[in-house]
Every structure is written in C-alpha cells, then in structure tokens.
Amino acid sequence: MLSRVADAIYWVGRYLERAENVARFVDVNLNLMLDLAHTATEQWKPLVQTSGDAEAFAKRYGEATQENVIHFLTFDAGNPNSILSCVTAARDNARSVREIISSEMWEQTNTWFHMVRDAAGGNEALGALNEFYVRVKMASHLFNGIADSTMSHGEAAHFLRLGRMLERADKTTRILDVKYFILLPEVAEVGSAFDSIQWSALLKSASANEMYRKRYGQLTPAKIVRFLLLDREFPRAVRYCVLEAESCLRAISGSAAGSYRNAAEQRLGRIAAELNYAQIEEVIAAGLHEYLDNLELVLNSASAAVFDTFFSLRPIQVSDSTHANGNA
C-alpha cells in the first residue's frame, strides 16, 4: 500500500474518532449543565482544556461561555479540532484515497460531512444541538460498522483502526485528566451528590457508565480511573486501545508478540507493557495527572514513530529497494 495512502487512511480514522469524541464531551456537558443548573457553576472551560486548544480559544474568544465553547468545538472552521474541521479533514483524506476504501465508507464520510456543514450553516437551538451530537456519534458508529463490514481486513483497515485507537486512547486520557486535575472538587465535596454527578458525567462522556456499573457497581474514583485506564475489555479504556493499536501494527508488519521491527512497535509495546503491569494505587499515589501527562507524551511519540516508519515521504536514500523503510 502506498505510504501516502496509508497516511491518509490513518488520519481518516483519527479525525473521525476525534469528531466523535468532541461530540461526546459537549453532549455530556450540555446534559450536565442542565442537572447542575441550580448550582450556577457553569463548567465549560475544562472542555476546551480537554481538547488541548485552550490557548487558541482564549486568544480568539476570551470568555468560556457555553455559546463560545460550543461554537469553538463544534462549528468553528478556524479551530482545527472542531467537529466541522475534523469531519472536513477526514473527508479530504478519504477523498484522496476513495479508490482504496469501500465506496460505502466514502459515501458515509461524505454524508456525514454534508450533515455537519449544513448544521454549521444554520442557527441550531439547544434542543437541536443535542440531536446534532447524537447524530455525529451515530455517524461515527455507522462509519466504523461500514468499515468493518465492507472493507477487507487487510493493511488499509489496520491503518484505519490504528489511527482510531491511538486517537481514542489519547482522548480517554484527556477526559480523565480533566476530571482529576481541573475539576478536582473541594475536599468537602468529595462523595457529595455534585461529585457523583460529575464522575458519572465523566463515565458518560466515554460511554462507559453502564459498563462500569456492571463491572464495579458503586462509583469510586479509583475504580473509575482503573476502568478507564486499565480495563482490557472496555473499548474506550486506554489499555484496550493501546493493545488494539499494537495488534494492528503487528498485523501490518508481521512482527511476533513481544518483539519489534520498527520504532512504532517498540514505543507502543513499551506503553502496553506499562499498562499491563500498572497498579492503580501506585498510579494515584504518584499523581494521576503526572501519569496521564506522561501517557499522552509517549502516545504522541508512538504516533510520530508511526509517521516515520510508514508515511514519511523523505527523499529516497537507499538503493536496496526492498527494505527502504527498515528501522527508519
């Protein structure tokens, strides 16, 4: 498969997953604000911080009002991580490889893009916005289902899934970070109704509420962190995503488990090992925020290694034509 094509497919996976995640955050927060209306503590700023674009937001919008944040994260073409921008970028990438992906996948991406663009053109009422985020999430699920059942589970599908899994792992760490670091409640509020509403909102933004309940029952911060960070069966848990991403890489390169052939596999393997053997008590004792921060950094470096290994279009230097990507 062409490097350029693999790159584009990987980014289709990442961008669409990102759009879905932004829709999750905003949607959960909209509901949360309704529940907390009486406390008058609007919490919109953390959403911007979750996305990592706090600086750009502050520069262009100033105050983190509901309206500003929603526009910034949803329809702002100037924000590269807004839903509109993500879906547009995903569509551009899909368009550049539409001969590789199935036409159903392209059609779904295109339909999704038109849906978001049309919504961006209108003035959505709050109720319609709720509906809009649901449609974005469903569009993403539909895309994943279509991809799963219309495209051969070969290299292209692995790159698509790799992108999606790395993006999802990154977003789950950010969700956790927001709650534990930024929303850190006053000591007096630990265990209060306010706190538990927030923890369950956090679980909901990862669509993890019901699955968590089935597994652990009561909402306990440590268990919630363990569930979202270390569960190996829940599809949005960081460990699940990393293990899946690792297996996609192996499927692409043919490396055996426990070994590596390129920097991407080496770095992702190391993250997987760390998560496999992590103890949640140790993590919290050492500082969850620091742990998550570091996790985001190493995930980024794994992502960079994927680029170097498979996508980079540097001038060719090797004359031995069969192993040009080697351990780049």
Partner 1 sequence: MTLPLLWNGNCCFRHIRSKPQPRRRRLIQTGAAHLDFQCRCTIAVLRRGKARAQSFRIRTRPCLLVNATPQVSHADRNQREQPVIFDRYCTEGFCDELFVADGQPRPIAELLIARIESLPAGSLERRQKAAEAAMYQLGITFNVYGEESGTERIIPFDIIPRIIAAAEWSSIERGLKQRIAALNLFIDDIYHAQKIVKDGVIPEELIGSAASLRAPCIGIDPPRGVWCHITGTDLVRDGDGRLYVLEDNLRCPSGASYVLENRRLLKRTFPSVFAAMNVRAVDDYPNRLLQTLQSLAPDGIDATVVVLTPGMHNSAYFEHSFLAQQMGVELVEGRDLTVLDGRVHMRTTQGMQRVDVIYRRIDDDFLDPRVFRSGSTLGVPGLMDVYRAGRVALANAPGTGIADDKAVYAYVPKIIKYYLDEGAILPNVQTWQCSDSSERGYVLANLDKLVVKAVNESGGYGMLVGPHASAEQRSQFARLIRAEPRNYIAQPTLALSRAPVLVGDRVEGRHVDLRPYVLYGSEIYVLPGGLTRVALRRGSLVVNSSQGGGSKDTWVQFAPTEQQGSRDA
Q: By CB under 8 A, name the binding residues for partner 1.
A: 1-6, 92, 95-100, 103, 106-107, 110-111, 114, 155, 159, 252, 310-311, 313, 316, 319, 321-325
Helix, strand, or coil (residue 258): coil
Report the residue number, 8 or 288, with the smaller CB distance to partner 1. Answer: 8
Lookup: tokens for 135: 């449609």
Distance CA 141, CA 303 (A): 23
Least separation in angstroms between CB 182 and partner 1 = 37
Nearer to partner 1, 87 or 295 (CB): 87
Q: Which is nearer to partner 1, 171 or 250 (CB)?
A: 250
What's the CA gap between 179 and 47, in Å, rounded? Answer: 10
| Rounded CA separation 291/225 (Å) | 12
Nearer to partner 1, 106 or 180 (CB): 106
Instruction: Using the minimum distance from each CB to partner 1, give the nearer residue, 80 or 221.
Output: 80
Identity of the residue, 125 or 316, whose beta carbon is nearer to partner 1 in the bound complex: 316
DSSP 190-223: TTSHHHHHHHHHHHHHTT-HHHHHHHH-S--HHH
Query: Residue 314 Cβ, how far from partner 1 at the closest point, in Å?
Result: 10
Q: Closest approach of Cβ 111 to partner 1, in Å?
A: 6
Q: Please, how many CA atoms are within 13 Å of residue 240, restricted to the half-sphere of its CB?
A: 14
Backbone dihedral region for residue 13 (phi beyond 0: left; psi -120 to 50: alpha; all else: beta):
alpha
User: How far apart (Å, rounded) are the C-alpha atoms in residues 129 and 27?
Assistant: 8
Q: At closest approach, how far in Å is the CB of 134 from partner 1? A: 21
Q: How far is the CB of 60 from partner 1 (least distance, A)?
A: 22
Rounded least distance, CB 122 to partner 1, Å:
18
